[in-house]
Amino acid sequence: MPHPKRSSPTQNPWCTIAAALLLAIGPRPIAAQAVRGVDYTLQVDSAGASGIRVEMRIHGAAAEFRIAMVAHTEYDDEYWRYLAGLRGESARGKVEVTREDSTLWRVRGPAGEVTLHYRVDFPVSSPMDQAAWKAHLTPSGGLIGGPHSFLYYVGAEHAPVGLTVILPAGWKIVTGLHPAAGPGSFTASGVEQLTDSPLLVGLIRSWRFEVNGVPHQIAWLGRAAGVTFDTSRFVGTVERLARETVGMFGRTTYRDYQFLFEDGSHGGLEHRNSVTIGIQSADLARDPDAYLGQIAHEFVHTWNEVFVRPRSWIGVRHLPPAPTGELWWSEGVTLYFADLVLRRAGLPVRDSTRVARLERLMTNYLANPSHALVSPEQTSRAFNQPPDATGDYTPSMFAQGEMLGTMLDLMIRGGSGGRRTLVDVMKTLLARFSPEHGFAGADLERAVSEACACEADPFFERYVRTPGALDFGPWLAAVGLRAVVSWAPALSPAGAPAPDLRVWTDDAGADSVLRLRIWFPGTQWGRAGWHTGDRLDSLNGVAMHDPQQFRRALDQLHIGDTVRAVGAHGPASVSRMMIVTGYDRPAVRLDLRPDATPAERMRLAQWTSGR
Ligand SMILES: [Zn+2]
């Protein structure tokens, strides 16, 4: 999942809800013609260029067909805005290209060999604002290819693809695509492989290692302002992580793998056999393990979310996919596995022990009643939907998913007498599903039932498909634990009662309009009558334009302060006075039950050791 910087804590800090382009009407079908293949040439003219030129040679085109831009399952960066100069040519006559929609064009001309030409003039961001997964170029290189660069022939998604990349002198290229004969030449089995294999290009350093004979490569694209760091330690750590992950899941899902790191960008995105991650070398100089959590998360996605993926994410399309109810598994359980694999590899993790992590997870889960009042399936389906898709509740599919994954793991350990774990469920899914054959909720439930040798239906019905507060007791008991939950006033880092600032805004769009996101109705702003989606214009007379400015203004407030917020609910202007209050926060402590049996104690020891 793409992981930009964001201002709301309700999602995993690396993950986002990107606004999806929802187009109501799809194209009318055009009679199919057997396309024998499509050869692309992608050219970067010079090291100073910010865009690319693309030639798309179609072998066996129909007299009339459509071309489109792929809509990614998770984000929509709207790169159609940067596409220019699209034209077609054929040796046998005129080719006419007409735009039908933002991501769709109709082409008419003589059937047979048709060549299309276009440019993509990538937007230029300042280094720290550059998202690692979005195609871009700098004077020393960048990321090209992917859904941002390639149009595809609608109806010929599985036609073989050839690609030739022409780069400035001295630039290298690293990608998950299969190399072909000739410099800068690659092949792909179809559109999906082509657009899910971005190309890291430029002044790249690289290191190689193998896991069970499968080649892995680490590519590093530096920048002029980058600083030196301990590369041998960084490379060694990534290798250890890769080795442990392959060992945990028992297999690779790829023939080779590419880690694509870029200094000066941020965020990351998983692909079939590569990952794109933005890194600040200054962070690595300070702490060589600074990015381990994110790298582990994105790498685990290779198994969970990319290879084993929800059914509605199968195939390529030029419109966003239908919402899926299984993202709590694909994202939240990925967090669970990422923490586990780091522990197994003996690498640094955020929480000192698995018990400490679970205490923190439970605290966060209980602190927001949205987690119990919106089902994980509904939370998942709200991904990429308007912010008010879950009303004035803002659950996190990451918090819900990791919590559910943990309880399922304990349930399986209890049911199987400690012989199986959640990792076995993942192995079952890896055996049954593939990028061509996705899973549904019932498939998860079946795999859990088998691992547990128990009936998982009541759990899924009560806690996944419908809203319900997790009753931790029975599953904690499987490993001899019990939870002690207490509520007390939330405190600031200095130890004083903290003001209730639990309100967020979504990133302002081009119009700089801030929309409120209410965490749940019991928060200060919820009680005052604000709703998710309400417009916020000003705070104490100061106009509000961006989420960071709003956050800074909130952070100045103390308990007892008076705040006037002005905005709008629909067409109606709203002005409300609030007096800032404190709020209560839960604390969770996990204790060993005095009456825990030897078998439960043994399972606890196994679980805490990461086995
Ligand atoms: Zn993710």
CA of 362 to the centre of ligand 1 (A): 20
Q: Which residues does 594 contact at the CB level (< 8 Å), separation at least 6? A: none
78-87 residue pLDDT tens? 999 999 999 9
Q: Is 472 helix (H, G, I), strand (E, B) or coil?
A: coil
Buried b (16+ CB within 10 A) or exposed e, 66-92: bbbbbbbbbbbbebbebbeebebebee
Residue 164 has pLDDT above 50, yes or no: yes
CA of 359 to the centre of ligand 1 (A): 22
CA of 12 to the centre of ligand 1 (A): 8
Residue 454 has pLDDT above 70, yes or no: yes
DSSP one-letter code for 345? T
pLDDT at 28: 56
322-367 residue pLDDT tens? 999 999 999 999 999 999 999 999 999 999 999 999 999 999 999 9
Q: Which residue has the higher pLDDT, 448 or 2?
A: 448
Q: How confident is the model at residue 75 (pLDDT cuts 50, 70, 90)?
A: confident
Q: Which residue has the higher pLDDT, 74 or 486?
A: 486
Average pLDDT (534-542) is 96
Instruction: Report the C-alpha gap between 588 and 217 in whole angstroms.
Output: 42
Least Cα distance to 383 among 400, 362, 364 occurs for: 400
For residues 491 and 586, is the Cβ–Cβ distance under 8 A?
no
Average pLDDT (421-445) is 97
pLDDT at 18: 32
pLDDT at 132: 96
Half-sphere exposure of 208 (CA within 13 A, CB side): 6
Q: Kindly state the tokens that stand for 5.
A: 């910087």
pLDDT at 126: 85
CA distances from 603 to 27, 333, 407, 610 (A): 56, 20, 14, 11
Q: How confident is the model at residue 128 (pLDDT cuts 50, 70, 90)?
A: confident
pLDDT at 76: 86
CA of 13 to the centre of ligand 1 (A): 10
Buried b (16+ CB within 10 A) or exposed e, 404-430: bbbbbbbbbbbbbebebbbbbbbbbbb
CA of 330 to the centre of ligand 1 (A): 8
CA of 443 to the centre of ligand 1 (A): 21
CA of 301 to the centre of ligand 1 (A): 7
Instruction: Report the C-alpha gap between 156 and 96 in whole angstroms.
Output: 19
CA of 104 to the centre of ligand 1 (A): 29
CA of 218 to the centre of ligand 1 (A): 20
CA 268 to chain centre: 8
546-587 residue pLDDT tens? 899 999 999 999 999 999 999 999 999 999 999 999 999 999
CA of 252 to the centre of ligand 1 (A): 19
pLDDT at 347: 97
CA of 334 to the centre of ligand 1 (A): 7
CA of 399 to the centre of ligand 1 (A): 12
Counting Cβ atoms within 10 Å, is residue 213 exposed (0-12), middle (13-18) or buried (19+)? Answer: exposed
210-260 residue pLDDT tens? 999 999 999 999 998 999 999 999 999 999 999 999 999 999 999 999 999
Instruction: Report the C-alpha gap between 574 and 568 in whole angstroms.
Output: 5
CA of 167 to the centre of ligand 1 (A): 31
pLDDT at 21: 31
Beta bridge partners of 304: 308
Instruction: Report the C-alpha gap between 316 and 435 in whole angstroms.
Output: 11
CA of 298 to the centre of ligand 1 (A): 6
pLDDT at 386: 85
CA of 384 to the centre of ligand 1 (A): 14
Q: How confident is the model at residue 33 (pLDDT cuts 50, 70, 90)?
A: low
CA of 241 to the centre of ligand 1 (A): 17
CA of 391 to the centre of ligand 1 (A): 24
CA of 15 to the centre of ligand 1 (A): 6
CA of 270 to the centre of ligand 1 (A): 8
DSSP one-letter code for 482? E
Instruction: Report the C-alpha gap between 455 and 451 in whole angstroms.
Output: 10
CA of 611 to the centre of ligand 1 (A): 23
CA of 2 to the centre of ligand 1 (A): 7
The two beta strands, 136-138 and 185-188, are unpaired
Half-sphere exposure of 454 (CA within 13 A, CB side): 17
Residue 267 has pLDDT above 80, yes or no: yes
Q: At what angle do helices 397-415 and 334-344 cross, to 10 degrees?
A: 60
CA of 299 to the centre of ligand 1 (A): 9
pLDDT over 90, % of the chain: 89
Beta bridge partners of 121: 51
CA of 383 to the centre of ligand 1 (A): 12
Q: Which residues does 97 contact at the CB level (< 8 Å), separation at least 6? A: 86, 87, 88, 105, 106, 107, 116
pLDDT at 530: 97
pLDDT at 328: 98
CA of 560 to the centre of ligand 1 (A): 39
Amino acid identity of residue 243, one-letter, is R
Instruction: Report the C-alpha gap between 78 and 76 in whole angstroms.
Output: 5
397 φ, ψ to 5°? -70, -20
Instruction: Report the C-alpha gap between 403 and 470 in whole angstroms.
Output: 9
pLDDT at 1: 62
For residues 205 and 222, is the Cβ–Cβ distance under 8 A?
yes
CA of 75 to the centre of ligand 1 (A): 12
pLDDT at 388: 84
Average pLDDT (415-443) is 97
Amino acid identity of residue 316, one-letter, is V
- Average model confidence (pLDDT) for the chain? 93
- Sole residue written with tokens 């054959």: 437
278-296 residue pLDDT tens? 999 999 999 999 999 999 9
Instruction: Report the C-alpha gap between 200 and 171 in whole angstroms.
Output: 10
CA of 398 to the centre of ligand 1 (A): 9
Q: Which long-range contacts does 279-284 make (Cβ < 8 Å, 24+ apart)?
A: 280/128, 281/222, 281/226, 281/227, 281/228, 281/229, 282/226, 282/227, 284/229, 284/230, 284/234
For residues 166 and 41, is the Cβ–Cβ distance under 8 A?
yes
CA of 425 to the centre of ligand 1 (A): 19
CA of 306 to the centre of ligand 1 (A): 10
CA of 522 to the centre of ligand 1 (A): 29
Q: Kindly state the tokens that stand for 201.
A: 């290009």
CA of 197 to the centre of ligand 1 (A): 17
CA of 308 to the centre of ligand 1 (A): 13
CA of 143 to the centre of ligand 1 (A): 20
CA of 593 to the centre of ligand 1 (A): 35
Q: How confident is the model at residue 30 (pLDDT cuts 50, 70, 90)?
A: low
CA of 327 to the centre of ligand 1 (A): 9
For residues 433 and 439, is the Cβ–Cβ distance under 8 A?
yes
Q: How confident is the model at residue 26 (pLDDT cuts 50, 70, 90)?
A: very low
Question: What are the strands, taking DSSP E only, across 440-552?
Answer: 481-489, 503-506, 514-518, 535-539, 542-543
